[in-house]
Chains A and B, each alone.
Chain A
């Protein structure tokens, strides 16, 4: 019976595996292949050439990589802190009201990211919504927060909010109430319960949420362009420039590969540390 189950499992997984191979793995291979191609050749029949990677190391691309990863880290951390109370409420306190919160957050996804970010630009810009009203009502003049690093991080937090919130709520829902009660009964304070019980038992949700937010934020482009006005150049920006303006496909591919490797290994380490089945639904 078990052998049959195993075979059926393989067969059931086959269609999605084929789809993933064509749409996900194949493009990755193409990018990998481009990254070891000599510049301006556009043919695969060449001796592998790693000069694009050398360019990455020599020409200061690591700076924009550091900005991207740093801001992704900052926004992930902020997202975790901001989302935890709300996720806790959704999982344990709100009851039916959770649905309202869910809908409210999901609805924001219906509007394209760029348009929402433009909305923030209009709100925050010099003489924009906030600055304009402040001046008209109170006579206060305000510097626009736009075109700075903090506002880029704010944009990342704003855009990737749902990606942290929902996995976190799912993770917190898995923390058994009686374990929290027992910990309290055995003398633990709220903070101790958070540290000893909530955080470790919600770990799958925390890891999934953090990975999603971090990976997306590390490759984000629009926030730094629209809100940041390129106060700093993020890594995704460098990649785009290499492919378009620079017409240096091997360089663009090599930069992409660097990001993919960093983010991919983070994801693998993260996922291997947690029990994904716990959050995705238990295996039989």
Chain B
């Protein structure tokens, strides 16, 4: 699946005075994919999208759209468009006029514009009479759909999204995430989405790019990001995770630092090994940690005391304090919940195939 990149970023650097917001970003965006750029605030993702849509231009580097260089082209001359975080709907225009706006700018006739707006309302599952509705009378979710319809009316080569769901309540956000993914499939357009929520990214994206301090930390599909993060930063970004500092031993095995990790079995077979004295981080997600019966066994073992229990809805999260005082979290489905009480001594275990080793320089 080596599709031609529709958008190619070559060594993009953006400086604001002495501050460097982006340190040489290289990124190929494939035609028709749903790519999400994720990062905490200050990671440079908003700066990056402003460069991508043309609201700002890079200090160094090139942006290529298909076969034309666009990094100096202003926003209104680019065949891409963006759904703003604020949505930026025009409050003095009706829903229909908002959707028709890009067509009007292009000089499309009134009848054709209205027809197209009607199609887009249908695509976004809004009733046709909304054409006459005022923007101020629309609910949050409806405004979202109108903004999408307006962007689609532009018929962009790439559709950018700048955290458009961040202001909505949880349930609506979840619904719209799925709708957006569905819309991507139906339109076949290239979507580039920016968010600070990796969870949101996981639901929708074909690929996820994680940004940190103006650099691309990792670019992978959702599975790769979740199970094989390249750094502690990425691992911790996606919810709860158990991380252990480890060091390679003379025998080519691992030795835990901080938490006492009992390692059974052979490491080399699955690529989990470190040279002597080399340091790394061992990662296991809470849902892969088992609470072992007295007779049970597993590749990794940690002993500790159950300190707290949190109900997360479908799952229960347990906080276990290891012998050296560090905390581990364990998650169980509600039906597999642990029957004991707070203060119990527990033996936790997990297997090699749910373990990932992070090597950082």
Bound Cα distance from A197 to B150, whole angstroms = 15
Q: Is B81 in contact with A186, judged by CB distance below 8 angstroms?
A: yes
Contact between B74 and A178 (Cβ–Cβ < 8 Å)? no
Taken together as a complex, chains A and B put the C-alpha atoms of A179 and B75 apart, in Å, by: 13
Distance (whole angstroms) from the CB of A184 to the closest CB of chain B: 4
A187 near B88: Cβ-Cβ < 8 Å? no
A183 touches B101 (CB 8 A): yes
| Minimum Cβ distance to chain A for residue B248 (Å) | 52
Contact B105 A178 (CB under 8 A): no
Contact B88 A184 (CB under 8 A): no
- The answer to whether B150 and A186 touch across the interface, beta carbons within 8 angstroms, is yes
Query: Is A182 on the interface with B (CB-CB < 8 A)?
Result: yes
Interface string of B80-98 (1 = CB under 8 A from A): 0110101011111000000
Q: Taking the complex as formed, is A185 at the interface, i.e. its CB lies under 8 A from any CB of chain B?
A: yes
Q: Quick one: given A185-B53, A185-B82, are A197 and B76 in contact (CB under 8 Å)? A: no
Asked if residues A185 and B86 are in contact (CB atoms below 8 Å), the reply is no
CB distance from B283 to the nearest CB of A (A): 40
Docked-complex contact B84 and A187, CB < 8 angstroms: no
A197 near B90 with CB under 8 A, answer yes
Quick check: A186 and B55 within 8 Å, CB to CB?
A: no
In which size bucket is the chain A interface? 10 to 19
Which residue of chain A lies nearest to B53 when distances are taken between CB atoms in the complex? A185
Interface presence of A176 (CB below 8 A)? yes
B76 & A182 in contact (Cβ 8 Å cutoff): no
B90 near A179 with CB under 8 A, answer yes
Q: Is A33 an interface residue (CB 8 A)?
A: no
Residues in B with CB closer than 8 Å to A188 are 76, 101, 105
A200-226 interface bits toward B, Cβ cutoff 8 Å, 1 = contact, 0 = none: 110000000000000000000000000
| Contact of A273 with B by CB under 8 A | no
* Interface check B129, CB cutoff 8 A: no
A186's closest neighbor in chain B, by CB? B102
At the interface, yes or no: A181 with Cβ under 8 Å from chain B? yes
The answer to whether B88 and A176 have CB atoms under 8 Å apart is: yes
Query: What's the least CB distance linking A177 to chain B, in Å?
Result: 9
Could you tell me if A192 and B105 are in contact, using CB atoms closer than 8 angstroms?
yes
Report the minimum CB–CB distance from B332 to chain A (whole Å).
Answer: 45
Cβ–Cβ contact A182 & B88, under 8 A: yes
Given A186-B102, A186-B154, A187-B102, answer yes or no on A181-B75 (Cβ-Cβ < 8 Å).
Answer: yes
Are B91 and A181 in contact (CB-based, < 8 A)? no
8 Å CB contact of B92 from A182, A186, A200: A200
Q: Return chain B residues, CB-CB under 8 Å to A200.
A: 92
Q: Which residues of A contact B88 (CB under 8 A)?
A: 176, 178-179, 181-182
| Residues in A whose Cβ lies below 8 Å from that of B186 | none
State the Cβ distance, A121 to closest chain B Cβ, in Å. Answer: 45
- Please tell me if the beta carbons of A187 and B154 are within 8 angstroms of each other in the complex: yes
Is chain A's binding surface mostly helix, strand, loop or mixed?
helix
**Is B106 an interface residue when CB atoms closer than 8 A count as contact?**
yes
* B residues near A182, Cβ cutoff 8 Å: 82, 84, 88-90
Question: Is A189 located at the chain interface by the 8 A CB criterion?
Answer: yes
Residues of A within 8 A of B90 (CB): 179, 182-183, 196-197, 201
A188 to B104, CA, bound (A): 9
Residues of A within 8 A of B89 (CB): 179, 182
Query: In the bound complex, what is the Cα–Cα distance between A189 and B75 (angstroms)?
Result: 10
- Given known contacts A178-B86, A182-B84, is B76 in contact with A187 (CB within 8 Å)? yes
Are B105's CB and A201's CB within 8 A?
no
Q: How far is the CA of A197 from the CA of B82 in the complex (A)?
A: 18
Over the window 159-203 of chain A, the binary record of Cβ atoms lying under 8 Å from chain B Cβ atoms (1 yes, 0 no) is 000000000000000001011011111111100100011001100
Give the interface of A toward B (CB within 8 A). 176, 178-179, 181-189, 192, 196-197, 200-201
Residues of B within 8 A of A (CB): 53-55, 74-77, 81-82, 84, 86, 88-92, 101-102, 105-106, 150-151, 154
A-B contact pairs, 9 of them (CB 8 A): A176-B86, A176-B88, A182-B89, A186-B105, A186-B151, A187-B102, A187-B106, A188-B105, A200-B92
Besides A176-B91, A185-B76, 19 new A-B residue pairs in contact (Cβ under 8 A), listed by A number? A176-B86, A178-B88, A181-B75, A181-B84, A182-B82, A184-B75, A184-B76, A185-B55, A186-B81, A186-B105, A186-B150, A186-B151, A187-B77, A188-B76, A188-B101, A188-B105, A197-B90, A201-B90, A201-B92
